[in-house]
Amino acid sequence: MIAWCPDAAACLQGARSLRVGSLEGPAEAVGRAKVVATLGYAAPLDLGLALEQEAIAPNFVTEDASEGIRAFGEKRKPKFKGK
């Protein structure tokens, strides 16, 4: 098992924490990541990398990206709007 996931109960708790964290994050970026993970799971490496590149690039010009950068610079928690 992974160090932070020593047993099934710890893995379940970790998965729940990740799920809650993704609900608070930038919705568009999280949605794109889910699509790429689903489509690229069993895909050849070159296809998976192409999917990733196509999905990630648009995230850099969203309002949430700007908010994340501003919040990091201001050392505060970002307030994502899903845009």
**For the domain with range 27-83, which CATH number is right: 1.20.1740.10, 1.10.12.10, 3.90.245.10, 3.30.1360.120?**
1.10.12.10
Domain locations in the chain as residue ranges: 27-83
Q: What count of other Cβ atoms lies within 10 Å of the Cβ of residue 64?
A: 20
pTM: 0.51
Burial 22-46 (b: 16+ CB within 10 A, else e): eeeebbbbbebbeebeeebeeeeee
DSSP 38: H
Residue 4 scores a pLDDT above 80: no
Residue of 40, 42, 41, 35 whose CA lies nearest to 59: 35
pLDDT in tens, 15-66: 777 765 555 667 777 888 888 888 888 889 999 889 888 888 887 888 888 9
